[in-house]
Structures are given as structure tokens and as C-alpha cells.
Chains A and B, each alone.
Chain A
Amino acid sequence: MSSKRQRKKIGGEHLQRIIDLCTSIEEKGLDPFLVDVEDILEVVREYFPEWELPEELSLDAETIHRLASIIKLQSDWLKHRSTSLYTDPFLIEEKIRKLTKVELANLFLEVWHPIVEFEQISPHSLTEAIKYWQGLLPIDERWLQTGPQKREAGTVTREELIKQKILAENTFSEDLEAFWDELKEKVGANEKILYWDFVGANSYNETIQRAYLTSFLITYGYATLEIDRLEEEMFIKPYEKPVSMLGKKQVVSIPVSISNEEWMKWKRGLQN
């Protein structure tokens, strides 16, 4: 019994050393061929029948995972070697050491094609800047020290806090659930609804608020976005139950512009 425990201990240490070796090769960018994959697989295979506990099996899985990363590095290395970009790093280093600064700079200039770009302030942003500047208090006024005012401690009710807009009447999740119900109701039997038809409201402020809540509906898996790239249309599709996308597929962010112009356009379209 004790010999089995001893063997398990040695095996565990062995696997941990393999993991450390693979990690350091990966992190420090060392030659991946320092690892003899076949030898390591033999070790992993040898100890595998010993593992019973979840943490032991997890260590075994971690070793295989690290080894897979090393195999990928070896494959990348071979691919790179077969491309025209491959040159022996020692040869390059030797050349760099031998060439003078001027020679190095001159040859670099032959292959350097810098990006051309303009940075220019527009009349609009200039006007905004002037407005800001004119409204700005002199620095000595802004830096005026105002001593803390003494106040007596007192009590306040929840209703008063709601009135002062310090506390919200409903919690955010309650608001979100209500909004989700509204979406399901609006969609009805159609499965989905045009983004703007759902988000758009009578006022621009309300539209922004609805777009904000919609983004949470999608992020938290209450609904999803469907984009028809051909028609350049975007739909919202509610789920029956919230779906968590974490770890299931790659999550992407989709920026949606809710400018005043876009809202006016939508509103005009509604009126026509």
C-alpha cells in the first residue's frame, strides 16, 4: 500500500516537472524541440493507471495539454523554417553586430514605407473647444478650498431615498426582466423584430435608455442579435430562457450607433 503511495508521489512530481518545463519553453520562447514528446508520452502512459482522484487526473490532463502546446510550437517552428522568411538567427545576429549604425539605417530605409496620416482639428471641434474654454473657470477659482460642512447625523427612509433618486424604485434585474417580457410580447409569433422597431421610442432620450437595456438583454443571454449583412438589417430575437454564452462560443461585441440622426431617420420612416 505504501509502495503504491510512494509511486503516486514520484509520478506526480514527474508530471509537475514536465508541466514546468513545457511552461517555461512556452513563456520564454525557448526551442520547443528541447522536449522529447515521445519520451514524455511514455512517462504519462506509465503513470496513468495509478491515477484515481480527480486532482491526480487533472494533473495528467494538464500535462497532456502542455504537451499539445509544445507540439503546436514545434509545428509552427517547422512551418516558419519552410517559409522564405526563415534565416538562422545566429547569422542575423552576426550580421547586425558587424554592420555599422549608418549601414543598418541605410538598408532599413530601403524597406521602410511609413504610414502617411493627417491629424487636423475640424471647425466643429474647434467651436466646441472654444465654448469649453470660455465656460472654464480660472484655475484659482477651481482650486478654491471649501471646508467640509458640519452636518448632524439623521435617519432617512427608503421612500425618501427613491424620491431623491439615490435608490432606484426597481432593481436593475427587475427592469431587465420586464424589458425582456416586453420584447417577447412585441415579437409575438414572428420570432424576431427589427432592432430599431424595438429600441426606437417617441423621444431620443428614451431610445438611448432602451438601447442601453437591450445591450444588457443580449449580453446576459436573454436575447440575441441577428444581422442580415446583405440587406444591412439587424434583428433582435428573444430566448425563451436566458442562455449563457460564456465558454460555449466566441462572444463578439457589435457596436450599434444610436445617433440623433439615426433616430430621426427611423422616426421619419415610421411616419411615412
Chain B
Amino acid sequence: MDEMEERLAKLKKKAYYTRKLKRATHLLFYRRHQKPGVKGWELKRGLGVDYPKVLKILDSYLEKLDLEVKTVFEGEKPAEKPSREQLDKARFYITLRGSLAPKETKMMGWRIDDIAGLATAISYVTSKKGKAPREEVEDLLRNKLPGWRVDINMNRYIRSGYLAEDGNKQLYLDWRTRAEIDQKTLVELLLSTNSLEKEDYDYEEEISD
């Protein structure tokens, strides 16, 4: 009889978390606000107080699909286990767990120039303590991109939420950079990579593709 009750309790628990998982998937995958992602307190309202556990289960499911539940905390990432309050204020996203192959970026509407420009802008602003004059970044971009594309690309990075600009033409790292890019590894990789090739990618070549 005890065993029966135990099995019933297990089944109930499983059904409970299956329901919560579906709800969490809807909340996280479909955009509800102007920006993607869901705040912790919204998840608490939609999933209940044990939402961190639901997210953990969802994350393990998503691992098979090379996706993950990404947590972006307000301010610095806590060194230890985050408190309930920190989690409630954090923003949760679904992101790619692994990395993209160069060919895949074209399907997403990003050209190799755009990505190189984005890498340049983000790593430069990161090295400047997260704030750099737009003029300096544009100068650096001109080194890689045709002049007429620099302004277009810069505005695209700002519009997409990778960079933000204030009234004094200062650039900052914005929400999308915090959600999608591992800045520390980017800087480390940049410093450890030695150029082996000559500039092998001709811009004109790409236009004719």
C-alpha cells in the first residue's frame, strides 16, 4: 500500500513538473515584451516559487538541443550561489549553448564583416571599462570595413541591443552583449590569437556571392 502511495506521489510530482516545464517553455521562447527574456519575478508569478528548479529541469532538456537557459544578473554575476532576491531581479533567456559555424551566420542575416565589426566594437569597449567614444570605435572599424558601412553597422549594433549610446556619443555594452557574449573569453581569445593569414576576405568578393 505504501509503495502504491509512493508511486502515486511520484506520478503526481512528475505531472506537476511536466505542466510547469510546458509553461516555462512558452514563457521563455515567445517574446512577451519589447526585449526578449523574462524577469525572475515574472517566472515566479507564472511558475511558482520553485521556478529555479523548473528552469534547471528545462535546461537539462534543452542541453540535448544545444540550447540553454541563460541567467543574466543585475550588475555583477554573484560569486556564490545567487540569493532568491538576485534571481527574482535577474533576466532569463534561452540561448545557444554551443557555438555557430561560420556558414550558419549567413542564415541569420549576419555577414562576416558585420560579425568582425561587432567583435571589434565589443572587445574594444570591454577593454575600455565598458565605455568608449563612438569616434574611437568607428576609427577602428574603418580599419576593417569600407567607410560607408561603418555608420550603418554601428547603428545596427545599437539597434540590436549589443551597444548603447548616450548623448555624449559614448558607447556602452548593452543588454544583448551581456546575454549572448562571453566577454572574458572573447578578450582572452583575442589576446591569444596570432594572425596567420593576410586579409583573405575581400569585401567585393562577398557582394558578388
Contact = CB atoms under 8 A, between A and B. Distances in A.
Q: Which of B68, B126, B129 has the most CB of A within 10 A?
A: B129
Given A96-B123, A107-B119, A117 B30 contact: yes
B30 to A, nearest CB: 5
Contacts of B57: none
Given A110-B185, A112-B100, A118-B31, A88 B115 contact: no
A112 B195 CA distance: 20
Contacts of A105: 102, 105, 112, 115-116, 119
Interface residues of B, number: 63
B124 A109 contact: no
A151 interface: no
A114 B170 contact: no
A48 interface: no
B95 A116 contact: yes
A115 B124 CA distance: 22
B31 A103 contact: no
Contacts of A116: 29, 67, 94-96
B195 to A, nearest CB: 5
Contacts of A144: none
B158 interface: no
Nearest to B37: A115
A87 B183 CA distance: 12
Contacts of B30: 117-120
Contacts of A89: 124, 127-128
How would you classify the secondary structure of chain A's contact residues: helix, strand, loop or mixed? helix
Q: For B119, B143, B144, B184, which residue has the most chain A Cβ atoms within 10 angstroms?
A: B119
B185 A115 contact: no
Nearest to B171: A29
Contacts of B176: 115
B116 A101 contact: yes
B99 A110 contact: yes
A96 B195 CA distance: 10
Given A105-B115, A111-B182, A118 B29 contact: yes
B70 interface: yes
Contacts of B97: 113
Chain A to chain B: the 9 pairs with minimum beta-carbon distance, closest first: A108-B119, A101-B116, A104-B116, A92-B127, A105-B115, A89-B127, A111-B182, A113-B95, A27-B168
